[in-house]
Homo-oligomer: A and B are copies of this chain.
């Protein structure tokens, strides 16, 4: 059988190692494993969500309300937009998929940062499109603009704050950049880590309502996987002008978010106290890692997220070797070798998890 030639070129996404793997491979008991590899919420999920899901198990047999009205109304209200500007996704991943498939033809181009979330390029590749990566580790909008002019990409992906580096753009800089982009070019602003960013520095805050009213070609995406602690439930969303959202709806499979997931997300939005407490604790613990890196003289990226990326001195230790040493002890971090960096990305854990990790790093680095 002849498959789409585009498939040959698609790289495979490398996910953070799951706890199950460490249990299987090294016989470590699941409650002993410290997983700080996938930027999940180390405090879990709001107890209100847990209770709501326990009570809603009887709903599992029923297809979701395919209008997703409750969830979309809640999101619209949280972001001060109309429900018509919102589309829910099976993770924000699915929104990237809608974005690429709605405009890209084989041979088209997308533009992204040198180091960024790897799925943009994978979805673009599925459409037969080419990925142009700006030659920068931290987002450099001047370089973006040069490359935009040279390559005429159909989509620009901006990840702010950026995974896996941790940097974030000032809103004013982003908006100045957007003013120079043709309204025919879609600009995706992946705001998965936005609340962490604005907690550290309010200048980083990009609000969906302001973004889409000023730039009809912009798409704001966000996720319930990070601050809301629902990574396992697969819920993200996109906010954009109505024409864009309607195009995405043409590509949306029915029931694209599960019954329990949409409920979990709707309840999670209501428990703002849970989120605020996490944001505060995260920043406090993040600063411990930065202090550690400073003391050790290790280069790190100032982080506006719930993780920190630390570069290693290659002569002494590769990220792969550090990653593997810790994996065998049941500590799962993220090796950034596949991003072309001799660096390790550590999700900021709970204080007691960070104590253990910092203690081990102190000895190993």
Contact = CB atoms under 8 A, between A and B. Distances in A.
A61 B15 contact: no
Interface string A59-81: 11111111101100000000000
A53 B3 CA distance: 38
A60 B45 CA distance: 7
A4 interface: yes
Contact of A61 (B183, B230, B247): B230
A82 interface: no
Given A54-B54, A253-B94, A229 B61 contact: yes
A255 B15 contact: yes
A184 interface: yes
A19 interface: yes
B15 A66 contact: yes
A234 B88 CA distance: 15
B60 A229 contact: yes
A119 interface: yes
A185 B97 CA distance: 27
Nearest to A47: B57
Contacts of A93: 253-255
A35 B62 contact: yes
Interface of A: 1-4, 7, 10, 12-13, 15-16, 18-21, 35, 38, 40-41, 44-45, 49-50, 53-54, 57-67, 69-70, 90-91, 93-94, 97, 101-105, 119, 126, 183-186, 217, 225, 229-234, 243-244, 247, 249-251, 253-261, 264
